[in-house]
Amino acid sequence: MAVLAGAPVKGPPLGELVCALGADFLILTTWAAFGALLATLLRSTALSIGIGLVYSLVLETVIFNLPIRNESFTNARDFFPGQNSSSLADSFSEQAPTGFSHPRRHPSTPHRLRSYSSPIPATFIVLAALVFRRRDVE
């Protein structure tokens, strides 16, 4: 569209593009590790896909829209993988977040969210490995 309008075509700065690709990789890693954990626990691909979709699309949406004003509950929201993924993706947009996600209480930066998101896939992988080793190897 910019070419048709005669406007200059420019992309995002290289640093922001690399940071966004890193965030995408972190989001992909989180959900892949969650899927691997579900597949290991349930020993079924189809069931783990179904439960993963219900969790990510329905359960987290319901939890985030509960009118609970407890500080512990509000702080616990920061450790859900869907919320971290949405906040990390929204941090690269200049638009206000839309949809069912709850409004952010504080500005999201990729550096702050990476500190929350990085342990999540590692936890999923360690749990899957422990379950697999205990149930299927020994």
4 within some domain: no
First-to-final CA distance of the chain:
61
Residue 6 contacts residue 93 (beta carbons within 8 Å): no
Checking if the pLDDT of 50 tops 90, the result is: yes
pLDDT band per the 50, 70, 90 thresholds, residue 126: very high
Let me know if 97 is exposed, middle or buried by CB neighbors in 10 A (0-12, 13-18, 19+).
Answer: middle
Determine the pLDDT at residue 97.
Answer: 57
8 within some domain: no
**Percentage of residues in the chain with pLDDT exceeding 70?**
82
Written as six digits, the tokens of 87 are 């906040």
Written as six digits, the tokens of 73 are 């509950």
3 within some domain: no
* Span 121-129, average pLDDT: 91
Length of the chain: 138
Domain count within the chain: 1
For residues 33 and 102, give the distance between their C-alpha atoms in angstroms, rounded to a whole number. 24
* Span 33-49, average pLDDT: 92
Q: Which domain range does residue 123 map to?
A: 15-137
Mean pLDDT of the chain: 80
